[in-house]
Homo-oligomer: A and B are copies of this chain.
Amino acid sequence: MKTRRSFLNRLGIVGTSLFFPLSANAAPAKDFLIHQVYFWLKNPEKDTKSFIKGCEGLIKIDSIKKAYIGKPAATTRRDVVDHSFHVSLTIHFRTMEDHNIYQIHETHKKFIAKHEEKWEKVQVYDMKIE
């Protein structure tokens, strides 16, 4: 990229609007939502596997841009780090509308109906990335 920019620089055409789409693609994605959910299960040893399977079905909802299912990472124990959750669900949405479609989606409702008995606590943080 550096070499290419140097080459373009020599031509005197870097930074023109002609190259904006290229720059926009190279930059981190912006203007989207991260819907971050942490689940604490009642019986993690018994239910984690089937719960994660449920999450894998849930994230097929087509208004989702990206999704990640996680477990606590084995980072250093510190007071500020909460390793106590059992399963995390990280969902990226392009827009608030896409988030709202997800919330009322039949697949989401079925996921809740099927799995809500498994969790004792759920904590959500919704972030607007600018």
Contact = CB atoms under 8 A, between A and B. Distances in A.
Interface of A: 28-29, 33-36, 38, 66-76, 78, 80-83, 85, 88, 90, 96, 99, 103, 122-130
Given A34-B70, A124-B80, A75 B96 contact: yes
Given A33-B73, A73-B33, A75-B99, A82 B127 contact: no
A70 B124 contact: no
A20 to B, nearest CB: 20
Contact of A80 (B85, B123, B129): B123
A130 to B, nearest CB: 7
A84 to B, nearest CB: 9
B125 A82 contact: yes
A34 to B, nearest CB: 6
Given A38-B125, A74-B128, A82-B123, 14 more contacts: A29-B68, A34-B88, A34-B90, A69-B129, A70-B127, A71-B130, A72-B125, A72-B126, A73-B127, A75-B96, A80-B122, A80-B124, A82-B125, A85-B125
